[in-house]
Structure formats: structure tokens, C-alpha cells
């Protein structure tokens, strides 16, 4: 089963569980510490699933494989650490700082995998290069803030400026992608049945479609 499908099922399941808990709380079943942990767990799974779907877009592109795989592994690690810490009542601040740092880098790789689905011509490649600099830089700043815990307002402002630049550059990449007219290449999918007869039948269908399109081109 593809990772995208697994993350999609996890997202659907977490949303359903959260909805049922909300209905139960409204109907008078109560909302105690156990319910709070379950809700936080489902929210964590939902957020991780959304980021996992973003990583899944990079698995279909040759250049984004390593980014997507790193993102998926970091998402799994961050999910295990955060959910495990909630249910085992970990109070050590160092543990949560490390968990937050792992989550920041998981978000970083998921973001990079997501923008890798937008191919750009050579004259616009600078925006992708900028993204591959700014996004890890933001993750490094967040990690440093978790570890060092600076009290200066300057550190917060620096992270804010970097975050704004990341958001603006991400929007710019999508705009340039639309303006350039470059569409993401569709990966070649294997036939439903891996036997010679099925493959030959699919080739005949494609050849007939090509002949039809060539006829339309001659008429244009």
C-alpha cells in the first residue's frame, strides 16, 4: 500500500474519532483528562497525515524522492515521540524540546517535498533554490530556539522574518509555476494486469488514441 493512502486513511480515522469525542462531550459524556489525551493524539495524527500527504507528492517525482522519504521518517519519529510523551506523562523539558525540533524538521522536509511538485523553467529556478535555503534555515532557527531557549526578542523577530520570507516565496513559486505553463509530469503507471495480453491491449488503445489525435491535428 502506498504511503499516501496510509496517511489518507489515518487522516480520515483521526477526524472521525475527534468528531465522535466532540459529540460525546456535547451530549454529556464528559471531557476529562483521558478524552483530552485522545483528542490531542488524533490532532497529532491528523497533522502528521496532512504533512505525510505533502511528502507523498514528492515520491512521484525523481528529484524529490530523498526529501519525501526523509520527511516521512521524521514524521513517524516525531509522531511517536509526541504521542508517546503524552501518554507516558513525560515532564522532562528536554524531551519536549527534542520532539519539537524533530517536528520542525519533519515540517521542513514535507514543505520541500510539496514545492518540488511545481517544476519551473530555468529562468525561475532561483525561487526553488531560495526555498531550499530559507525553509531549512527556518527549521534550524526553531531548533536553536528549542535548545537554547533565547530570552531576547531579537530571536523571535528573526524567526518571524524568516517565516514571512518562506511563506512569500512559497506563494511566488506557485504563481511562477502557473505563469510558466509547466505542468508536473505524470508518472508512468503499470497496467492493472502484468501479463503480455493486457499490456498489448493497452498499447493498442494508446495507439488508437494517438492516431485519433493526429487526425485532429491535421484538421486544425
Domain ranges of the chain: 1-91, 118-206
74 pLDDT higher than 70: yes
Q: What's the mean pLDDT in 111-139? A: 85
How far is 126 from 117, CA to CA, in rounded Å? Answer: 16
Cα angle: 174, vertex 180, 181; to 5 degrees: 95
204 within 8 A of 196, measured Cβ to Cβ? no
Average pLDDT, the chain: 80
32-56 pLDDT per residue, tens: 777 778 778 888 888 888 888 888 8
Counting residues of the chain whose pLDDT is more than 90, the rounded percentage is 17
pLDDT at residue 25, as a whole number: 67
59 pLDDT higher than 80: no
Q: What's the mean pLDDT in 181-207? A: 65
Q: What's the mean pLDDT in 139-159? A: 83
Grid cell in block for residue 184: 508536473
Amino acid at each position: 500500500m502506498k504511503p499516501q493512502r496510509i496517511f489518507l486513511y489515518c487522516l480520515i480515522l483521526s477526524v472521525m474519532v475527534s468528531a465522535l469525542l466532540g459529540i460525546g462531550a456535547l451530549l454529556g459524556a464528559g471531557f476529562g483528562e483521558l478524552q483530552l489525551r485522545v483528542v490531542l493524539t488524533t490532532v497529532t495524527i491528523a497533522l502528521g497525515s496532512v504533512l505525510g500527504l505533502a511528502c507523498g507528492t514528492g515520491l512521484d517525482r525523481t528529484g524529490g524522492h530523498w526529501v519525501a522519504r526523509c520527511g516521512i521518517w521524521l514524521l513517524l519519529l516525531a509522531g511517536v515521540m509526541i504521542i508517546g510523551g503524552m501518554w507516558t506523562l513525560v515532564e522532562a523539558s528536554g524531551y519536549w524540546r527534542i520532539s519539537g525540533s524533530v517536528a520542525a524538521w519533519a515540517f521542513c522536509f514535507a514543505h520541500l517535498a510539496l514545492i518540488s511538485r511545481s517544476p519551473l523553467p530555468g529562468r525561475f529556478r532561483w525561487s526553488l533554490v531560495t526555498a531550499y535555503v530559507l525553509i531549512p534555515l527556518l527549521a534550524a532557527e526553531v531548533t536553536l530556539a528549542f535548545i537554547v531557549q533565547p530570552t531576547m526578542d531579537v530571536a523571535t523577530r528573526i524567526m518571524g522574518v524568516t517565516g514571512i520570507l518562506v511563506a512569500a516565496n512559497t506563494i511566488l513559486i506557485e504563481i511562477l509555476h502557473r505563469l510558466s505553463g509547466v505542468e508536473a509530469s505524470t508518472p508512468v503507471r503499470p497496467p492493472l494486469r502484468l501479463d503480455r495480453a493486457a499490456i498489448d491491449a493497452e498499447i493498442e488503445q494508446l495507439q488508437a488514441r494517438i492516431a485519433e489525435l493526429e487526425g485532429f491535428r491535421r484538421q486544425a
